[in-house]
Amino acid sequence: MSSSPPINVGLIGFGLSGRYLQAPFYRAHPGFHVARVVTSRADELAAEFTGMNPTRDLDIVLADRAIDLVSIATPNATHYEFARAALEAGKHVLVDKPACATAAQLRELRDLAAANNLHLFVFQNRRWDSDFLTTRKVVDGGALGELVNYEARYDRWKPEPNTKPWKEKPGAAAGMLYDLGAHIIDQAICLFGRPQEVSGATWTQRRDSSIPDAFDLQLTYELPLRVSLSCSLLAREPTPRYTLHGYRGSYVKYGIDVQEDQLKAGILPGHDRFGEEPAEQHGLLHTETNGLTVRGPVMTETGRWMGLFENMHAVVRDGAAPAVALDDVILQLEIIESASGVA
């Protein structure tokens, strides 16, 4: 690790993403220092950062010359505006997914960052999910042979509208395709790259919902591979998180990465069991090796969202390549626009 001084962070927002998904990793990584937090949640902030007072608004952070990186953990509709203002103020930026409402906006931000010799990162933490790391290992290991079908689902049981008003407000970057879809689309891009064709639909499934809260996507790659991605908030019984079929066998994985639940419970990065899934969530591999049928569990890799922060630090201080290329996120938004009828 570089011996340079810590990167001073201005964290914008202290809800779920800011408090639980970002702040603990900045605190655990010696190369970062959270210097300011913009929030109205003074009590919650004091519980996590002893003696720190909330900063009133983004403008104060942008005017602070000591701030190196602005970390945006605010509602989707604010991402483009806040990220643009931070880049114009000369700050590196980490912006929560889906980054922007449109691919055109993210291209603009990418070019603005490059023109000012700044780094723009997107919070695609679920590339470091335990279940996805394991699925990627199975794909790369070739145990399934040539892959013919990859299905990823992000289902939940949430029949009532979200209590956070911005989550249910129609408008730019609203709906589950931008929310949960951003994760599984990004994972598919990580595994397989740019699809040849995209088809699918979004719709409103819950009776009292005002946003598109369900989707089905089909991504076509070089045959025989087909990729299916879907989401429902009315799935009371768990469905497989990943289902893969190939010419030599299948892999099925239930359960979701435990890091978010651990963070909410106060289990922080650095804990001996952080990111470790229980054995009952291990996936099942059924394949053939040297003429023998093999069917049994695959131990889940340890989830490591810290990998995103380690990479950010290495990019800023040591000139490393970003682990999540902005062009991948632009492609993700192009797919979302195509499926939602924007493009």
Query: Quick check: 1 pLDDT over 70?
Result: no
What's the total number of domains in the chain?
2
Q: What's the pLDDT tens digit per position in 126-168? A: 999 999 999 999 999 999 999 999 999 999 999 998 887 777 8
Domain of 57, in residue numbers:
7-123
Residue ending a domain, among 123, 145, 161, is: 123
- Which pLDDT score, from 0 to 100, does residue 228 have? 98
* 44 and 162 part of one domain: no
Average pLDDT score over the chain: 95
Q: Give the strand order in the sheet containing 7-12.
A: 32-38, 7-12, 69-72, 92-96, 120-123
Q: Do 173 and 76 contact (CB within 8 A), yes or no?
A: yes
Task: Name the residue with higher pLDDT: 213 or 343.
Answer: 213
Q: What's the pLDDT tens digit per position in 212-255? A: 999 999 999 998 999 999 999 999 999 999 999 999 999 999 99
Closest by Cα among 59, 214, 61 to 71 = 61
* 141 and 261 part of one domain: yes
- For the segment 299-313, the average pLDDT, to the nearest whole number, is 98
* 217 and 236 part of one domain: yes
* 149 and 75 part of one domain: no
* 266 and 206 part of one domain: yes
Q: Enter the pTM of the model.
A: 0.95
* 180 and 293 part of one domain: yes
* 104 and 142 part of one domain: no
* 199 and 61 part of one domain: no
Joined tokens for residue 68: 């190196």
